[in-house]
Copies of this chain bind each other. A is one copy, B any other.
Amino acid sequence: MDPTPQQRARNPWGQGERLRGEILEAAARLLSELGGEEGLTIRGVARAAGIAPASIYQHFADKNALVHGLIEYDYERLAAAMAEADAALPAEQVVDRVRAQMHAYCQFALDSPGHYRLMLNNRPRREPGEPPKGPLGKVILGVTAAFERCEQAGHKLRLPAERSAVMVFVATHGLVALWHASPDERQLDRIEPMVSEFLSLVFA
């Protein structure tokens, strides 16, 4: 029943900041188990981390701060996974590198539905003057760059590179969001081909 039933040893003198990381890790673990934001509670995170609920408030002002800490951490994970997938392919396979990025994106979304939904449904209200994409900006930037390399390699696009990136990204989000809403094992295999189809639609 209890994920971490044993007593936790307190951190050594002067290293209290460690607990912040442990709380984030425990919250991430819990969110993965739950598959959604609904059961993600202060008490639950505390239990998963093996600490008292009150201890969380030494590191996060309130539940919102904890959630946003999680989201930030997750965006870094996602961007890293996409960049890695991109870099893993030889430079000349320009189209495959777009596909690899989007594949990594889907993998993240399908492996961690709770994280993905939390990230995309709690995007920050944007300040006037900021770019409209929020933390997703980096993701789209990476895809845009990959599309630009396609153009330089001679592949014709039906839309400018950045617009192509936005289109493919938006469509892929629709796809994984719909799958999250009613997951179906038998449909899982259809997701990747559909992303490829989105890709082929933006190429001339």
Residues in A lying within 8 Å of B, measured CB to CB: 120-126, 132, 134, 158-159, 163, 166-167, 170-175, 177-178, 181-182, 184, 186-187, 194, 197-198, 201-202
B178 near A170: Cβ-Cβ < 8 Å:
yes
Known: A197-B159, A201-B158. A175 touches B170 (CB 8 A): yes
Interface of A is mostly: helix
| B-chain residues with CB within 8 Å of residue A178 when the two chains form the complex | 120, 170, 173
B167 near A170: Cβ-Cβ < 8 Å:
no
- Contacting residue for A167 out of B159, B171, B184, B186, CB 8 A: B171
Query: In the complex, which residue of chain B has the Cβ closest to the Cβ of A182?
Result: B123
- Counting from the closest, the 7 A-B pairs by CB-CB distance are A174-B174, A171-B171, A123-B182, A173-B174, A170-B174, A201-B201, A123-B181
A125 near B182: Cβ-Cβ < 8 Å:
yes
- Contacting residue for A174 out of B121, B177, B184, B202, CB 8 A: B177
Known: A159-B197, A202-B201. A177 touches B173 (CB 8 A): yes
| B-chain residues with CB within 8 Å of residue A177 when the two chains form the complex | 120, 173-174, 177
Closest Cβ–Cβ distance, residue A1 to chain B (whole Å): 26
- Contacting residue for A187 out of B120, B132, B163, CB 8 A: B132
Query: In the complex, which residue of chain B has the Cβ closest to the Cβ of A36?
Result: B121
Bound state CA distance, A158 and B174, in angstroms?
A: 20
Query: In the complex, which residue of chain B has the Cβ closest to the Cβ of A117?
Result: B121
| B-chain residues with CB within 8 Å of residue A158 when the two chains form the complex | 201
- Contacting residue for A201 out of B122, B132, B167, B186, CB 8 A: B167
